[in-house]
A and B are shown apart, each in its own frame.
Chain A
């Protein structure tokens, strides 16, 4: 499902070179739930961005869903992303559209047949327990609800892989547990999940395979 071979990433800020990842290798099998953890600035977000080809590695190779990402054309990158759901710390919902419209918008622009959109959107909303808030605007949602709406948007296309970048970072404990519960349900439905969090207590509580990053290096792979 995911394979990283000796991946390094260096950002160049003018003449200064800032290493974000150094010589990282690991594999994730289909159906796994992997927690990526480490302190802020450890390289978690960079690693996730490499998985959906928002970044390209300076060295090494990233393979996702059977594709070596360095060789993909622009349209192939788009096709890859249609198979991946991504959730961020800030839900990034479009403020001028309702929860339902946010999901329908993504389905429309990725070519879902019109007749299937409503059914798929409500199926996703049911999965995250948000059917009753379909007509609410993002500004009317709690942070937990907004994050669940973002999850619904990410899974509405029934992707094989869900990447979640600090999805509980802005949430209190109760809301975080609620969102993690939803992600667990999504994983139980057969979706491979890679979740990044800097909250080590939360990572430990997940009792899943955990990859620990420190200063851009993979220092632990356990569970």
Chain B
């Protein structure tokens, strides 16, 4: 029976002709908009998450504490609210680290009469401490410790990045929703057109006692097929754009956002887009059922 209903749905699609093609194109455009912004938002989200993990507040100490005082000091810092962890970095360790960064120019550091780098404590804030307000409060608290010379760090710029990410997601959803509505109405129109064309068939089906499912399912299936085809075309378009632009954009993204690779949508997102397309089409087909006076 399902094969028959599917066959009827495909036959109806052929009958709808250009209107069905318009519906498919509109569904494709709405999902390209949604998927495109989703893709951007997803990659920006990855950068934000990465940077959040890398957030450090550096506590510069007035003097290098004697070995016996290091552990109690680190314990006191760790005990402060919104601190996830703290790591002591001695003057020697800081210099070694600088030399590693300098690489082949490390010999320059050896020319220094004394180690100029201060001992520090690298503080990793908890999730609450990684917000702009949390970070400001934590910096103030760390600054009140008597051993502390200066506290550096901040997360405002990460938050700005996160704001951009949210804005992109909202724009994508808004644009996608507006286009989706247009697509749904077009599916409704194409299905209504088919309903008028197949009125005789529907009448015969009802008279001979065809189950309601046999009368209504082809309409739903027709809408779903339009939606699925539109979603598949949208994914192909997104994939093509991604393949073409990613290699050109990746060096720039690495430099600005520290993002080595511009990822494509996850398999789950792909499934969601396909399901959205099918859902859009099905709703359009279902609405036509009411308009066509079948109910």
A81/B1 in contact, CB under 8 A: no
Which of B58-66, B73-81, B199-207 contacts the other chain? B199-207
Is A120 among interface residues, defined by CB-CB distance under 8 A? no
Query: Which of B200, B203, B210 contacts A109, CB < 8 Å?
Result: B210
What secondary structure prevails in chain B residues at the interface with A?
Answer: helix
Minimum CB distance partner of B11 in chain A: A96
Interface size class of B (residues with CB under 8 A): 10 to 19
Is B214 among interface residues, defined by CB-CB distance under 8 A? yes
Query: Which of A83, A95, A110 contacts B210, CB < 8 Å?
Result: A110
Q: How far is the CA of A2 from the CA of B146 in the complex (A)?
A: 103
User: Chain B residues near A92 (CB, 8 Å)?
Assistant: 200, 203-204
Indicate with 1 or 0, residue by residue over A57-85, a CB within 8 angstroms of chain B CB atoms: 00000000000000000110111111110
Is A10 among interface residues, defined by CB-CB distance under 8 A? no
A-B contact count (CB 8 A): 47
Query: Which of B1, B4, B212 contacts A78, CB < 8 Å?
Result: B212
Is B211 among interface residues, defined by CB-CB distance under 8 A? yes
Interface hits, A150-199 → B, CB 8 Å:
157
Q: How far is the CA of A106 from the CA of B206 in the complex (A)?
A: 10
Is A108 among interface residues, defined by CB-CB distance under 8 A? yes
Q: How far is the CA of A77 from the CA of B208 in the complex (A)?
A: 10
Is B68 among interface residues, defined by CB-CB distance under 8 A? no
Q: How far is the CA of A111 from the CA of B205 in the complex (A)?
A: 12
Is B209 among interface residues, defined by CB-CB distance under 8 A? yes
B204/A78 in contact, CB under 8 A: no
User: Chain B residues near A108 (CB, 8 Å)?
Assistant: 1, 4
Q: How far is the CA of A26 from the CA of B227 in the complex (A)?
A: 54
Q: How far is the CA of A190 from the CA of B161 in the complex (A)?
A: 82
Given the known interface contacts A81-B207, A86-B207, A109-B205, the answer about A75 and B200 at a Cβ–Cβ threshold of 8 Å is no
Q: How far is the CA of A79 from the CA of B209 in the complex (A)?
A: 6
User: Chain A residues near B4 (CB, 8 Å)?
Assistant: 108-109
Given the known interface contacts A108-B4, A109-B205, A111-B1, the answer about A94 and B200 at a Cβ–Cβ threshold of 8 Å is yes
Is A122 among interface residues, defined by CB-CB distance under 8 A? no
Query: Which of B201, B203, B211, B215 contacts A111, CB < 8 Å?
Result: B211
B207/A78 in contact, CB under 8 A: no
B contacts, CB < 8 Å to A: 1, 4, 200-201, 203-212, 214-215
* 9 pairs of residues in contact across A and B, judged by CB atoms under 8 Å: A78-B210, A82-B209, A94-B201, A108-B1, A109-B4, A109-B208, A109-B210, A109-B214, A110-B209
A contacts, CB < 8 Å to B: 52, 54, 74-75, 77-84, 86, 92, 94-95, 105-106, 108-111, 157
- Which 5 residue pairs are nearest across A and B when measured between Cβ atoms? A81-B209, A82-B209, A109-B210, A78-B209, A109-B214
